[in-house]
Amino acid sequence: MSDNHDGRGKGGPRRGLAIAVILVGVFVSAVDMLIVNVAFPRLEESFPSAGLTGLSWVMSAYAITYAALLLPSGRWADRSGTKQVFLLGLGVFTAASAGCAAAPNLEVLIATRALQGVGAALMAPSSMSLLLGLFPPSKRGVAVGLWTAVGGVGSAAALPLGGLLAEVDWRWVFVVNLPLGAVALLLGGWSLTSSRTEAGPRPDLLGIGLLAVSVGAVVGTISQGQAWGWTSAQVIGLSAVGVLGLVLTVRRARRHPAPVIEPALLRIRKVALGNVATGFFFMGVGAMALSTILFLTQVWRHTTLRGALEIAPGPVAATLFAVPSGILAVRYGAHVVGAVGAGLFAAGGLWWALAVDGTPDFTGTFLPGGIIGGIGFGVILPALAAASTLALPPERVATGTGMASMSRQIGMALGVAVVSAVLTGHPGVGTYRTAFLIMAGASLVSGLALFAIGPATPPAPATPPAPAAPGGEHQPEQLSRAATS
């Protein structure tokens, strides 16, 4: 960050506006992630021939492009300027939202959703880095808590807002992004501060493509397996593409100077476990997000708006607990607080699996699970963010945030794909209970990974990067030292 002579640094009148612009980007990304899930029943009405697995690509296309581009965008932000990357991402996201709203068919909608994922991928790592730069080092935990809390507010607002808008037309769930994005773009160019970093090697474009194809093939295998047959030539072929693509992605990551997945970061034990925890937790979130709205609208036959309002207490609880849990994570350790949050989120899924049935009973069966799970969601989010980034030297935070967000999106896509496969052809109470158990199981694995991280240790001090290792692998000296922690 530059100095604060003009009021745009850590002090001065523009600091508050800069924080607001950054948080608008976080907010619209969070709104968009859940607002589409709420509109899912309306999408089924508009595209009846697509089926559940076909429509699931409206969510998965976003997650896949988001995941594939997060690491390169984080590295680009580290080296080329966080302000420029953030504003570009916000512009792409806003334009793609307009494209989604105007989509004439399902194919165009899926394509513009993928473009939305590109914009969100550019915003996410740079938003965290920009926000941390506006707080002193001693307040980094507060910045992380604020970042996650605004995401929780966006999630909570998405549900009633999405339900209300979807009752009119599902296209309006995308229109809602346009005024916020346009205003933030205008103000961001004035209030945000450019960072100066050294130029690095170009991102591995082939590696980006390989990762996107690989994740898409895996998601396609899971979501289409039930419809096509698990032993069909299509499923076997997709599985082979997914496995081969992942192998090639890892191979390129070990040799390219700017890989899509940076091995040096994953050698830091705490960072690796934080990403495992993030991926599994958001697999549970993906399972929950799709199964709850479909259960309420298809089994209990509630309207989309009523279903959205019935889900809303969970995200509200998450919002209320996000900032306090960030403070608790600083005091007691992210590994302890995060494990508690994962356990609570799993308990919400177990409650639903055991309590709900075909007879509507919102206050007696659905609401308790939503509140318990929502509290767990709010408790674990700051712990996941801390586990994935606070062990890194400051100059690698944007890249580390990108890796954590990549894990989140891959987990979400897998959770949606698994639930789509479970529900296809068998949309009864029993299959929804299975979906809730998937939510609970994935969260428990996340909690175990978080607890295994152990107490926090300070990041290694920044030093100039060491020369590339034999074979072209880039291993900054400070990351190699941090990997031993």
Per-residue confidence (pLDDT) for residue 397, from 0 to 100: 72
Q: At what angle do helices 304-311 and 14-38 cross, to 10 degrees?
A: 130
Contact 17, 211 (CB under 8 A): no
Burial of 93 (C-beta count, 10 Å sphere; 0-12/13-18/19+): buried
Would you write out the chain's pLDDT as a tens digit for each of its 485 residues?
Answer: 444 444 444 456 688 888 889 999 888 887 887 788 888 888 988 998 888 888 888 888 888 888 888 777 777 777 778 888 899 999 999 999 999 999 999 999 999 999 998 998 888 878 888 888 888 877 777 787 788 778 767 766 777 788 888 888 899 999 988 998 999 999 988 888 866 555 567 778 888 888 888 988 888 888 878 778 888 898 899 999 999 999 998 898 888 887 888 888 888 888 889 999 999 999 999 999 889 989 999 899 998 889 988 998 988 898 888 778 878 887 888 889 999 999 999 999 999 999 999 999 999 999 999 999 999 998 998 888 888 777 777 767 767 777 887 888 889 889 988 998 888 867 789 999 999 999 999 999 999 999 998 876 554 444 444 443 333 334 444 444 444 44
Torsion of CA 106, 109, 111, 115, to 10 degrees: -170
d(CA 21, CA 146): 13
Residue 126 in contact with residue 77, Cβ under 8 Å?
yes
Cβ pair 76, 203 in contact under 8 A: yes
pTM of the model: 0.80
Please give the pLDDT value at position 200. Answer: 62
Domains defined for the chain, CATH in brackets: 14-457+466-482 (1.20.1250.20)
